[in-house]
Amino acid sequence: MLLERDLIQSVGFRNIREGGEVTGFQLRLRMPSYRGMAASLIDGVAVRVGDLVDVAPDVPLWTFAGRTYSLQELWDADGVRWPLEEAAVVTVPHPGGLPEGTHEVSVQLRLRMSYIPEEHQPSTYDVSRHITLTSAEEGGPFRYGVSLYSFMTDFGTVMDLETALAAVADVGATGVEILGEGHIERYPEPTVEWIDRWFALLEKYSLEPTNYGSWIDTRLHSSGVHARDLTAAEGAGMLQRDLRLAKRLGFRFVRPKIGVVSSDLIPHPIWTESVERSLDLAAELDVVICPEIHAPTPIKHEVVDDYIDLIERTGTKHFGLLLDTGIFQDRPIPLKPGELPGRRPAFMDGIAVDPADIADIAKYVVFIQAKFHDIDENLEDQQIPWEPVLRALKDAGYTGYLSSEYEGERIPWRSIEQVRRQHSLMRSIASRLP
């Protein structure tokens, strides 16, 4: 498991309970030195949280390898170490804990280095950052999950599979969504060892698989003298390969991203036959195929009508709709440095679908990808109007997963805090809905 670059970690910021009472809060700190060291060299950590908490360096408790120490106990200890690869857990006594939401957390960490002259000691590290404290106790009628797509391009560079799953569980989510060819080692034939580790990590972090993302690459052979589109049989083969792998990994839903033939995302004509050839297998595996309604395609569109027609015509229970909340975006995504107006797809300014349209398709919707781009320190989403979206989903009777799909700026580790903010925001709104 890997650590975030910041000294103060996002993962692990939480209230703690003893005997049913909230007695304080915890945060995790990464060793700021280039090496691990004996914990007896810690000279304390002062912690301030906005205007709510301000404690002296000797107040917080320290936890290493599952054992908790006061600062005095650390000074007297032998053999207790703060490894470079493990975060220290710092507990701050504070009856009642902290309110849910984003807080400015400041620490002054003090360490004593034996090879630095004593008159220059302790070495101090003054750091502040905004972190969101989330709670799994409320959240209205919905279930909450996270797509590991949220962590691209962190995944495989500064995050491994366990780091990602730990971040999902830390926000109180219970569901995890993956991309088959994005997160499975040696896809489409993972090793038995990888599969065993997958299930072991799900158990460790109390997570369940939700939606599995797959592709039907209709332009697989689109170059060269023998260029051609995929046949329906070949498309069905791709889909069925992923249905089997998804079932093997415990997933209930499979989202096939089907090749398109127009700018409003009309799927390639083979989609119907490819899906229909696969419905018997989906029923046998008890897996639901669910293509997404994704911007720039609105709810009231022929693509959606065709999906619903297949459901009504076949009577299948194993084909449904996946709704991507990016269609409700009603404010533009800011231009990137050097990006000129008018040089990017218009839908990035938002297609502003009316959330009331959900009512027309609600009975076919089986999964929600909670797409978002940026939530500020006041927990205000800059593009997605969550209150009317969540109200429409609740009024329509949806009680399934809201699966975070962060698609904002890809600064390393930013996605972790953004997902925390989204879960706090969605839970807060959902818990207040009448």
- Which residues belong to the active site? 294
Q: What single string gives the DSSP state of each residue in 287-324?
A: -EE--EE-TT--SSSHHHHHHHHHHHHH--SSB-EEEE
Nearest to 145 by CA among 388, 413, 424, 405: 405
Q: What angle do CA 250, 187, 408 make, to 5 degrees?
A: 80
Phi, psi of 235 (to 5 degrees): -60, -40
Q: Mention every residue, 6+ apart, whose C-beta is less than 8 A from residue 407.
A: 149, 150, 326, 371, 372, 373
Q: Mention every residue, 6+ apart, whose C-beta is less than 8 A from residue 312.
A: none
Q: Mention every residue, 6+ apart, whose C-beta is less than 8 A from residue 49.
A: 25, 98, 103, 104, 105, 106
For residue 367, list its beta bridge partners. Answer: 322
Tokens 């997160």 sit at which residue? 183
Contact 9, 27 (CB under 8 A): yes
CA dist., res. 129 & res. 374, Å (int)? 17
Instruction: Give, for 38, the enclosing helix (H) or strand (E).
Output: strand 37-38
CA dist., res. 112 & res. 120, Å (int)? 9
DSSP letter assigned to residue 159: B
Quickly count: other Cβ atoms within 10 Å of residue 265's Cβ. Answer: 19
Task: Name all contacts of 54-57 with Cβ < 8 Å and 24+ positions apart.
Answer: 55/92, 55/93, 57/108, 57/110
Q: Side chain identity at 154, as an amino acid letter?
A: D
DSSP letter assigned to residue 277: T
Tokens representing residue 17 in the block: 């309970």
